[in-house]
């Protein structure tokens, strides 16, 4: 049911690992970021120095982790991976930083979720390549500065605006990843099919791409589901018929909406006359937590112009009625 969600758990991450592009020129789309990044890396290589710290922002599943791995591969350095939520105390971060090798790339996922003290330690480390190790406690405590070898932080965040300015300013380069166009997702799919050793027909690639919400992670996941269907119920071919049949099994419709998305829209249209209706009322109508509706279904519905948010509540946009095959009520007073 969650087949079109952009997040990934560990099992999913393992399946994804095989499909990750390893070099910048295998990375599909995001031309601007790719060009800029390739300059940054090439220049650093030419100078024989660690590249500037890189901040990558954008929604989940668009390739931030992949780019961090590519940066390390392109400069031929090891990659260390951690995340904001994994670092509980400044000391945890100090331990990671002080164990970095020269030129190592440190990937900090969800960097906006670092705790304050860790964040402050990070500024200093990024700017001066130094950590202050605190020894002792209370009045007798003192800080011993420890020099670090040069390294490169690659930070990832869903929104650059969530980062405090002082931290944001420590990044020499910021790249913003945007949702992919359908033809770019088709390229991702063709490449992935090749790696999975299956033949994907062009019409099937196009069909999967249009239902993937602009997100490579979702495209790859749908591809795996179509492959399952073709293997178990079809004749092994990944053609248009197989793609449609598989996506029907997983209840992913032509726009990439799943059951929850459609449930929300349908309730909005049929039970509340298209709104406006409050989030909590709407959530109760579909038997979900308000938070689930707000964070899981709503962002894509709003982005697709199916649902609107107004000060008085959620409203169905004309495209929602059309998508569900419903007729909106005539405007009152006419």
Binding-site residues for ATP, in ranges, read 19-20, 61, 64-66, 127-129, 170, 180, 217
Q: What is the largest CA-CA distance in the chain?
A: 79
**Catalytic annotation, pick one of 5, 34, 109, 211:** 109
CB of 199 to ligand ADP, least distance (A): 19
Tell me if residue 109 is catalytic. yes
Tell me if residue 137 is catalytic. no
CB of 118 to ligand ADP, least distance (A): 20
Tell me if residue 65 is catalytic. yes
**N-terminal to C-terminal alpha carbon distance within the chain:** 41
What DSSP character marks residue 101? P
* Buried b / exposed e along 89-102 (16+ C-beta atoms within 10 A): ebeebbebbeebee
**Catalytic annotation, pick one of 82, 130, 158, 281:** 158
Tell me if residue 82 is catalytic. no
Q: Which residues are annotated as a binding site?
A: 19-20, 61, 64-66, 127-129, 170, 180, 217, 309, 314
CB of 237 to ligand ADP, least distance (A): 23
In angstroms, the CA 115 to CA 214 distance is: 31
Task: Compute the chain's Rg from CA coordinates.
Answer: 23
In angstroms, the CA 295 to CA 284 distance is: 15
Tell me if residue 64 is catalytic. yes
Using Cβ positions, the residue closest to ligand ADP within the complex turns out to be 63
**Catalytic annotation, pick one of 65, 152, 157, 215:** 65
Comparing C-alpha atoms, which of 217, 258, 285, 248 is closest to residue 1?
258
**Catalytic annotation, pick one of 5, 168, 213, 217:** 217
Binding residues vs ligand ADP (CB under 6 A):
16, 19-21, 27-30, 60-66, 188, 216-217, 220
CB of 119 to ligand ADP, least distance (A): 20
CB atoms near residue 66 (< 10 Å): 19
Which residues are annotated as catalytic? 64-65, 109, 158, 217
């Amino acid at each position: 049911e969650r087949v079109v969600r952009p997040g990934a758990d560990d099992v999913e991450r393992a399946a994804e690992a095989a499909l990750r592009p390893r070099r910048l020129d295998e990375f599909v789309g995001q031309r601007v970021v790719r060009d800029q990044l390739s300059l940054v890396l090439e220049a650093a290589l030419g100078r024989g120095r660690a590249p500037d710290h890189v901040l990558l922002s954008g929604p989940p599943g668009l390739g931030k982790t992949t780019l961090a791995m590519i940066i390390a591969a392109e400069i031929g350095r090891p990659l260390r991976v951690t995340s904001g939520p994994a670092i509980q105390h400044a000391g945890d971060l100090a331990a990671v930083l002080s164990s970095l090798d020269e030129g190592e790339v440190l990937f900090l996922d969800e960097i906006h979720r670092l705790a304050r003290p860790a964040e402050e330690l990070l500024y200093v480390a990024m700017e001066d390549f130094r950590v202050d190790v605190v020894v002792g406690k209370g009045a007798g405590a003192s800080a011993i500065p420890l020099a670090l070898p040069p390294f490169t932080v690659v930070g990832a965040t869903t929104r650059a605006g969530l980062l405090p300015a002082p931290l944001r300013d420590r990044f020499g380069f910021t790249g913003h990843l945007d949702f992919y166009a359908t033809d770019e997702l088709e390229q991702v799919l063709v490449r992935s099919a090749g790696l999975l050793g299956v033949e994907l027909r062009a019409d099937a690639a196009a069909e999967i791409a249009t239902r993937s919400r602009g997100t490579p992670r979702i495209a790859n996941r749908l591809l795996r589901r179509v492959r399952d269907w073709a293997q178990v119920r079809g004749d092994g071919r990944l053609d248009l018929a197989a793609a449609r049949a598989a996506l029907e099994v997983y209840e992913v419709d032509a726009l990439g909406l799943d059951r929850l998305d459609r449930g929300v829209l349908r309730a909005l249209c049929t039970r509340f006359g298209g709104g406006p209706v409050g989030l909590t009322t709407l959530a109760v109508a579909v038997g979900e937590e308000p938070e689930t509706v707000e964070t899981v279904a709503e962002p894509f519905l709003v982005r697709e112009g199916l649902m609107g948010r107004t000060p008085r509540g959620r409203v169905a946009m004309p495209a929602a009625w059309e998508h569900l095959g419903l007729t909106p009520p005539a405007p009152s007073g006419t």
